Amino acid sequence: MTESASSSSGGAQALPLALYVHTPWCVSKCPYCDFNSHAAPTPPFEDYVTRLLADLDLELDRPGARRPLSSVFIGGGTPSLFPGPAVRRLLDGIRERADVLPEIEMTLEANPGTRDAARFADYREAGINRLSIGVQSLSAARLRALGRIHGPDEVDETLRMARAAGFDNINLDMMFALPEQDLPEARQDLEGLIALQPEHISYYQLTLEPNTAFYANPPAVPDPDLAADIAEQGLEVLERAGYRRYEVSAYARNGARCRHNLNYWEFGDYLGIGAGAHGKLTQESPERGGRQVSRTAKHRHPSAYLNASTDGLETLDSLISSTRILDEQDRVFEFALNALRLVEGFPCALFTRTTGLPWSYISNILQGAERDGMVRILADRVEPTDLGLRFLDDLVARFAPGS
């Protein structure tokens, strides 16, 4: 891979742009959840949509933000708490303000339960064309241990209602290495999920994150060896059922890869609106080696976000809690943190196109990783090996500042 071969890949304006919308409310807070979510009986839906659209107006005024949107992802929290008219108003407002690609992917996260599922037809009519449903387990005992408020029977009914509403692109989330889960039970859980025939499955290990109830009072989860066996079993079961692993925790049937998440993993740009939403934007910057990559975060608490700048939202700064300009080492590390999650790896040209840095910034690190069997360096791309994917944290750590 020569220096010149990796350096002519287009400017920042050529990068795709996505939109993430955060809704911060849930019926209750799960003990494992470290997302920005808050239990609330009656969220202020209309006021929140008004603030989201004002937030988007300000985001679109930023240099480099006027690009067609390739995807919209409404996450949470529990977005399916929002009534259909509120989601329609939000999506109509997005389409009025921003250019969108003709085949834009629009995802909304939902939880199982007929109350939420009753809104699916409204969501589909408003323009949502992909659902991501947080099943987590099909075992009543494991769902109780996870603090989930739905039961196994509600999952099947929710899928039926989603199909009846016209959704033909559905992701189901499932967790493994759950409290007291063994290998046969994990297999039964996953095979039950596959029987529901979603287009996409996210299958990921329960982790005890700081600032969660589980972290403060850890449940009895499988040991690392058993968790690794469950993960290996899951990979075999999913691939045998026709789900191809394309990212560490993501499996899809043909044509059903999540475009929004692929944009993250390929170090693309995205605007973030909503309480606690994060964004990443790349601009041309000759004084910074061709690129300036900035990350922003909005105020986390819903009341701080909603009450900011009550005189009319004159500046975006009123909503932003932090801004960070990535230096060269940050760009190297964050690129690796995302791109090496992909089973097929990344084209070599993608590194310079997204970071603005020459290939020499990572060539030596990659050569060392190849000698250790963690990656394969091919003519025009880099792929993590099975070993690299299994010990991904160790692989990515090689790219960390100061390593």
Among 194, 172, 183, 176, residue whose Cα is nearest residue 243: 194
Percent of the chain with pLDDT over 70: 94
The mean pLDDT of 170-183, rounded to a whole number, is 97
What integer pLDDT is reported at residue 3 of this predicted model?
Answer: 35
Going through 178-314 in order, the beta strands assigned E by DSSP cover 200-205, 244-247, 250-252, 269-273, 278-285, 290-298
pLDDT of residue 57 exceeding 80, the answer is yes
- Residue by residue, DSSP assigns 367-383 as HHHHHTTSEEE-SSEEE
What integer pLDDT is reported at residue 289 of this predicted model?
Answer: 58
What integer pLDDT is reported at residue 121 of this predicted model?
Answer: 95
Instruction: Name all domains of the chain by residue range, CATH numbers in brackets.
Output: 9-263 (3.20.20.70)
What integer pLDDT is reported at residue 4 of this predicted model?
Answer: 33
Whether pTM exceeds 0.85:
yes
Which position has the higher pLDDT, 273 or 313?
A: 273
Summary mean pLDDT of the chain: 92
Give the pair of three-digit tokens for residue 298: 């909005």
Q: Where does the pLDDT of residue 12 fall: very low under 50, low under 70, confident under 90, or very high at 90 and above?
A: low
Query: pLDDT for 218-256, tens place per residue?
Result: 999 999 999 999 999 999 999 999 999 999 999 999 999
CA dist., res. 115 & res. 120, Å (int): 10
What integer pLDDT is reported at residue 105 of this predicted model?
Answer: 98
The mean pLDDT of 362-368, rounded to a whole number, is 97
pLDDT of residue 19 exceeding 50, the answer is yes
Rounded to a whole number of angstroms, the distance between the first and last alpha carbons of the chain is 23
Query: pLDDT for 307-361, tens place per residue?
Result: 986 455 456 678 999 999 999 999 999 999 999 999 999 999 999 999 999 999 9
What integer pLDDT is reported at residue 90 of this predicted model?
Answer: 98
Unique residue bearing structure tokens 């045998």: 240
What integer pLDDT is reported at residue 229 of this predicted model?
Answer: 97
pLDDT of residue 89 exceeding 70, the answer is yes
CB-based burial label for 311 (10 Å; 0-12, 13-18, 19+): exposed
The mean pLDDT of 365-381, rounded to a whole number, is 97
CA dist., res. 354 & res. 54, Å (int): 28
The mean pLDDT of 202-222, rounded to a whole number, is 94
Which position has the higher pLDDT, 114 or 393?
A: 393
What integer pLDDT is reported at residue 8 of this predicted model?
Answer: 37
